[in-house]
Amino acid sequence: MKAAGTSRGRGVRALAIATAVLVAAPALLAPAVARAEDLKIALVAPLSGRWARQGQLKKMGAEMAIAEIEAQGGIKALGGGKIILREADAGDSVEKAVSAIQRALSREKISAGIGAWLSSFTLGVTEVSERLQVPWFTLSYADNITERGFKYTFQSSPVSSVQAEQALDLVLDLARRNGQTIKKAAIVGDNTAATVFFFKPLREKLLKAKGIELVVDEIWTPPLADATAIVQKLRSTQPDIMFYGATNFPDSIQVLQKIKEFGVKTPIQGVGAWLVTPEYVKTVGKELLDNIMTVTASHPLKGQEDLVKRFTQRTGEPFMTQDPLMTYAHVWIIKEAAELAKSTDPKAIRDAVAKLDLKSGPAAGALAPGRIRYDERGRRIGATPIIVQWQNGEPFTVVPAELATRKPVWRGGK
């Protein structure tokens, strides 16, 4: 009887095991469902101080891209994982910017980062991201950002020296087509890194090569105490063009208001997107702004009307500029790299970025010439300078001609 009971018990157990296997079989045979893994991005930008407006615009662009990615199902390779934005205030100094990135990267795992707008800040911030091996994306212009042999820094803008050459060629061509000759030039601006690298080739070779005399060369460390002496020099020398690089709003407004007060009519060619924020219209009026040009890394192009409409409806901003447009593109680039890497590991994402060649999609569509790939230095291949001009209170792309939303206008004469 004991042996029979034991045999019967074994049979019951065997039947139970077989039944369990049959029940579990579909789950065992079904493909594994990836657990959603979120990817965290750091945004280091000036959210307070003299450059706070640009930082706020950058944040708007990042948030818009993140919302669109989430609406499309997140990062597919990470099981639909979301992108989480961790912002850090770069403030108004290199020291504060470096402190901000150190805090951001030490608190938790950050897969990639964006920032820090001002080239001087970016030079310091990327020292930290490179040491900690976190891929970093920047719109900053200074040439030396990608001349240090770094492997984790990706510069999406055309560098300052390239922008300077194109800007000079443009103003010379516009003046010539309007029956005027540029013989005298002024350089006016602060000593932040992007401005320094823009002015350097003008001062050292470009102006002289075109037979142009440099009659005013005024540089300051922000904040500017008083613009009166600078504008008096402009009035007394009457240059045919002024290359203008006052990167923060209070300094720039002070110069422009003095220009208006002293009746200076010199055409202005700016250096950077700081010169096309909406606040300028409210502060100095569209009459003074009209025909002022500036060279930027990006600006809405022909064919991007829907993108701009989505941005203005979402944010309430009157138009879109370089800062949100670039950050929007950077978030999408990071998303595509994560899809390729199938990982949130910073090194894996960095290696994926180095292999990227995007010819379509939101990132490629946001930046001229419509392709995203980086060279061994981390510079975006084919990055094209954009010339933007104020016309009737709004900034429009006027160069390159094939991507322009308006034709350029020359405001000459003294």
Determine, yes or no, domain membership for 10: no
Same domain? 130 vs 44: yes
The sign of the CA dihedral 53, 54, 55, 58 is: positive
Backbone torsions φ then ψ of 243, nearest 5 degrees? -90, 120
Alpha-carbon span 348 to 356, nearest angstrom: 12
How would you write the pLDDT of the chain (414 residues) with one tens digit per residue? 444 444 545 554 554 544 444 444 444 444 444 578 999 999 999 999 999 999 999 999 999 999 999 999 999 999 999 999 999 999 999 999 999 999 999 999 999 999 999 999 999 999 999 999 999 999 999 999 999 999 999 999 999 999 999 899 988 998 998 899 999 999 999 999 999 999 999 999 999 999 999 999 999 999 999 999 999 999 999 999 999 999 999 999 999 999 999 999 999 999 999 999 999 998 999 999 999 999 999 999 999 999 999 999 999 999 999 999 999 999 999 999 999 999 999 999 999 999 999 999 999 999 988 999 999 999 999 999 999 999 999 999 999 989 999 999 987 654
pLDDT value of position 29: 47
Q: Which residues are CB-contacts of 20 (< 8 A; sequence separation ≥ 6)?
A: none
Number of domains in the chain: 2
- 3-class secondary structure, 228: helix
CA atoms in the 13 A half-sphere facing the CB of 32? 5
Q: Which residues are CB-contacts of 304 (< 8 A; sequence separation ≥ 6)?
A: 365, 366
Backbone torsions φ then ψ of 269, nearest 5 degrees? -115, 110
206: domain CATH number? Answer: 3.40.50.2300
Same domain? 225 vs 120: no
Determine, yes or no, domain membership for 288: yes
Same domain? 220 vs 314: no
Same domain? 314 vs 262: no
Determine, yes or no, domain membership for 12: no
Alpha-carbon span 65 to 367, nearest angstrom: 14
pLDDT value of position 17: 47
Q: In this structure, what is the dihedral angle of CA atoms 96, 102, 104, 108, given to the nearest 10 degrees?
A: -170
Please tell me the pTM assigned to this model: 0.89
Determine, yes or no, domain membership for 18: no
Domain that holds residue 222: 161-296+387-403
Query: Do the Cβ atoms of 199 and 189 come closer than 8 Å?
Result: yes
Determine, yes or no, domain membership for 185: yes
Determine, yes or no, domain membership for 361: yes
Determine, yes or no, domain membership for 226: yes
pLDDT value of position 256: 96
The residue written with tokens 């008096």 in the block is 232
Same domain? 126 vs 143: yes
Determine, yes or no, domain membership for 411: no
Same domain? 308 vs 256: no
Alpha-carbon span 204 to 29, nearest angstrom: 70
- 3-class secondary structure, 185: strand
Same domain? 292 vs 166: yes
Same domain? 104 vs 127: yes
pLDDT value of position 10: 52
Same domain? 93 vs 69: yes
pLDDT value of position 30: 42
